[in-house]
Chains A and B, each alone.
Chain A
Amino acid sequence: MEKGRIYGLLGKNGAGKSTFLKNLGGLVFPSSGRISVFGEEPRKRRPAFLQDIYLITEEVYVPSISSTQYARLYSPFYPRFNNQQFREYLEKLEVEPTGSLKSLSFGQQKKFIIAFALACNTSLLLLDEPTNGLDIPSKAQFRRLIASVLTEERTIIISTHQTRDLENLIDNVLILDNGKILLHESIDQIIHKMSFKILKTLPDDREVFYSEKTLGGYAVVSVNNSQDEDQMNLEQLFNAVIEKPLAIKQLFPSKSSAL
């Protein structure tokens, strides 16, 4: 994985998305093999390593203290924490924590933790289903904020099965199934090699990876034989990869491997 990128981690329920993120964060240990993040083994949970990553799990935890107390208590653990950014992100996500954090709704608690995690300025940010529990305006705020905080030195991995939340946000896709990477590719490469079209009739073509009936005809995912690049549909891409994993592997042979 490269720095300065946002990776979208997709997979069916039980595919291993959360386990993958937990492995990177040192919360779960690999049963075989070795994981290396920034040259460190996450399972050792060394403070220097933990200072440089932030993992937001699907269920977040906030103690019964105020926002200011939280920042005062936890920020010293993260040397690059920026309090001004923290306030700014809270404002962008429209979180106004007054009183105990426990009194906030689940969505507000989640946005609070997202703002804190971003303000920690860690090199690796792992987000497991970050948009679960967020309302529609909050999802848009989240996308805008994530896009604005990406720097050359930061890598963000977002796991979700709500593909629409990641559209126009990610620049790399990782699709997992049964603990195996089915696709690990940049969006640029995907739209260069695959086409996403709405066609009046269903083509009888071996190069079709996926198709579904839509109002205007058929949504078809196939090999891109032209120089044109279509707007990628993440949901259709996901379905194509799940339905035709071998054909996709032939199209993108280099990075697919077992986890």
Chain B
Amino acid sequence: MILGSFALACIITVLIYFLMKSIANFEIAQLFSFTIGFIGGGGLLASLVFAYFGDAANGASFLTLPASNFEKWLCGISILVVFILVYLLFFRGIDSLLVSQYHKGLNPLDARYRQQYDSVFILSFTGEAEALFIFFANAIAAMLVGSLYFNKVSFIKAALVICMIYVLVFVLDHMVNALVFKDYLKSFAFHSVVVKNGNEDGVVDLPAQAKNIYDITCTYILPALLLGISFIRLKEKEI
């Protein structure tokens, strides 16, 4: 199952990459396929690595195996680390291949050659993609916790809980901003609020200090907290 979810993440990435490239463009294809493959595949894998502990026969076999709780937990984490490395290598390989094929297919004598050449480049894992890595860290840590709380179909149940939390944050953010700001238009939770300022729209950004706290919380504290909970939950797991 674990190898299957590795393979599934890779296959879905390739399919979405080709699909989006044909109906949109390279940039969208890269971002979309990477997001679905990396976060979807990682989330699926995270919900599977500890799912064995939810089943009576499997769980008894693994929990009574003479290894410490930390070692058992670390095995699950190691599988995810391997997934991250393998998936990033795989994506970079596929992306490089397709981008180089595109570059080779261009006519150097074409007047727009330079422009066409520079419009497509391999997806950088820094910059915009960093937000995806932060989301990934939180999502897989939450899925790990979910897989230890829900014994059956933990992937779906944990994904539903995560979605509900997102919706709740969105709704609460909207309600609070509507109460606080007089001419409130829309908001982006933990980022900015758009208000009507005469005939123009004004953007109120999150103060730098608050943004810093939010960034540190999402990047380090929340994933670490969720991983810690998953370890405690594994330690206290009963069948």
Contacts from A to B (Cβ < 8 Å): 22, 25-29, 45-48, 50-51, 53-55, 57, 59-61, 74, 77-78
Contacts and interface: CB of A to CB of B under 8 A. Distances in A.
Given A22-B239, A45-B69, A27 B61 contact: no
B65 A50 contact: yes
Interface stretch (B20-28, B43-51, B52-60, B123-131): B52-60
B57 A28 contact: no
B238 A28 contact: yes
B77 to A, nearest CB: 18
A61 B60 contact: yes
Interface string B53-87: 00111111101111111010000000000000000
Nearest to B60: A57
A77 B67 contact: yes
A78 B56 contact: no
Chain B, interface size category, equals 10 to 19
Contacts of A22: 60, 238-239
B64 A55 contact: yes
Contacts of A78: 66
Interface of B: 55-61, 63-69, 71, 235-236, 238-239
Contacts of B71: 47
A25 B58 contact: no
A27 B53 CA distance: 11
Contact of A26 (B56, B64, B67): B64
A53 B235 CA distance: 18
Nearest to B69: A45
A22 B71 CA distance: 21
- Most chain A CB within 10 A, of B58, B64, B68, B238, is at B64
Contacts of B61: 60-61
A47 B64 contact: no
Contacts of A57: 56-57, 60
B239 A28 contact: yes
Nearest to A76: B66
